[in-house]
């Protein structure tokens, strides 16, 4: 029987919500307002060495790509040699664009005049829209090509193991920041399936922490139905 685990769609839904939110902030931000712009750039800013905060958006995108390459792709390339190098090259292109946007946004803060910041803010927004389009296309490709291929070649237990290793290596603040975006972005069936999988494969305290976060982040009606489905 073909496996049913999906290691990509749930986290991608969270990343899409994050990107949608950032896109809205960028296009409505008044770059003439230095204080507001500084707050936006702080959330956006990218640091290759370490995320300055768990909410650093471009850091989260890059960490996600690194997690895929370190814990999922080495197994996948053994059964699909064509797709993985292409996805890694797409990751590299996304990283180049992420870094360029962050550097441009940070440099914007040093501009002396409001007019210069507004002009450069328009360019940052345009650059991000291009990144946004590429990132959506990349995630769709992983979901339409990689997910079904993995379900054919790997068992649910093998994929749960991959996800568990990724989670086990994440600092708690980054993990729960990502979950804070991911959990409310999922529909009832997806959320119930994910939580049932987490309950099977994770220590009880972790499962309890995740359900507590769900109760805080997921709308009440949806969370009530999920709770009933998994017997909470």
Predicted pLDDT at 232 = 86
Predicted pLDDT at 54 = 46
The structure tokens 């296309």 sit at 137
Domain annotation for the chain: domains and CATH numbers: 9-171 (1.20.120.520), 186-232 (no CATH)
What is the rounded distance in angstroms from the CA atom of residue 120 to the CA atom of residue 137? 26
> Residue 38 has which token pair?
């500084």
Which residue from 99, 125, 106, 101 is spatially nearest to 30, judged by alpha carbons?
Answer: 125
What is the rounded distance in angstroms from the CA atom of residue 134 to the CA atom of residue 63? 17
Predicted pLDDT at 52 = 44
Q: Within the chain, which residues score under 70 in pLDDT?
A: 45-59
Predicted pLDDT at 56 = 60
pLDDT in tens, 124-155: 999 999 999 999 999 999 999 999 999 999 99
Predicted pLDDT at 67 = 87
Predicted pLDDT at 200 = 83
User: What's the length of the chain?
Assistant: 232
Predicted pLDDT at 53 = 47
Rounded-to-10 torsion of CA 169, 68, 44, 216? -60
Which residue from 86, 93, 60 is spatially nearest to 146, judged by alpha carbons?
Answer: 86
């Amino acid at each position: 029987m073909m496996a049913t685990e999906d290691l990509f769609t749930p986290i991608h839904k969270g990343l899409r919500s994050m990107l949608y939110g950032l896109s809205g902030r960028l296009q409505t931000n008044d770059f003439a307002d230095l204080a507001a712009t500084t707050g936006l750039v702080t959330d956006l800013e990218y640091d290759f060495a370490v995320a300055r905060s768990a909410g650093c958006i471009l850091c989260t995108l890059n960490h996600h790509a690194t997690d895929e390459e370190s814990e999922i792709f080495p197994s996948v390339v053994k059964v699909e040699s064509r797709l993985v190098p292409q996805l890694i090259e797409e990751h590299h292109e996304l990283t180049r664009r992420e870094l360029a946007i962050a550097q441009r946004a940070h440099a914007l803060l040093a501009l002396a005049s409001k007019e210069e910041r507004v002009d450069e803010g328009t360019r940052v927004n345009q650059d991000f829209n291009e990144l946004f389009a590429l990132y959506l296309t990349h995630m769709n490709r992983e979901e339409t090509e990689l997910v079904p291929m993995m379900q054919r070649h790997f068992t649910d237990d093998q994929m749960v193991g991959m996800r568990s290793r990724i989670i086990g290596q994440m600092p708690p603040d980054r993990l729960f920041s990502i979950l804070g975006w991911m959990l409310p972005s999922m529909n009832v069936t997806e959320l119930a399936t994910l939580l049932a999988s987490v309950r099977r494969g994770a220590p009880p305290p972790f499962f309890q922490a995740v359900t507590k976060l769900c109760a805080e982040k997921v709308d009440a009606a949806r969370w009530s139905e999920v709770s009933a489905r998994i017997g909470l």
